[in-house]
Structure 1
Amino acid sequence: MNAAEAIFMAVQIWGWIGAAVALVFLTIGIDRIDEDARGAYIFRPLLIPGVLVIWPLVLWRWYRYETGADKWPARYDPPRKSHFTVGLILPVAIVAIIAVGLVIRQSWPAEFEPVQISAPGEVSQ
């Protein structure tokens, strides 16, 4: 098995597990987590692609909600503690990335002579 086959098989396995999670979550779990979703069946097919991709997060959040470990008031609090730090680090990182990109730029090979490309000749019909 080469790398491409292994990657393709991993994506297939991920998709099949996601499909199983989507089937169970959208039929049973969503009613238990969101009381507004009870009886609302039309929007559920729209959630299938998202659940296929992020099924580990869906399972983790479902588990946290079912066990009561989820602190629902804190769910809507933004992580403001890190905003100041990220606001300082991000501009510095952008400038550093641009500077490093300009410094390690490759030079033109000395033994290479450029050739002027001419327009293709007209094709007679």
Structure 2
Amino acid sequence: MEAEKLIEMAIEAREKAYVPYSGFKVGAAVLTKEGKVFTGCNIESASYSPTICAERTAIAKAVSEGYRDIDTIAIVGSLEKLSYPCGVCRQMIREFGEDIKIIVAKNAEEYKEYTIRELLPESFGPEDLENE
């Protein structure tokens, strides 16, 4: 799937965000290696800690439907500047692989691509829990 299409899906998901406190909408679209796409938006809570980011919402939807082989995730927050995944989201993305592509975008024409390895170097992953 083209990056532009995934970004457009993230922008659509962004519009569904529930952000009564910050007003900062974020949308994400996760593409699995099987070609399936799952979208998510951020959902805030008055007590803040139960708030969930768009990236984790999309990943949770994919995993809950049986898809764990994530290929790419597109993230759109601000339409004025690039919005990168927070530390918690980076760790959640890393859980599913070090070579997952991350697209951070303002729109379908203005974006940058990374791998999670680049955004979270020297990360902790499932293989670190293996017994020696």
**TM-score normalised by the chain length of structure 1:** 0.24
**TM-score normalised by the chain length of structure 2:** 0.23
Decide which structure has the larger Cα Rg and report it: 1
The structure richer in strand per residue is 2
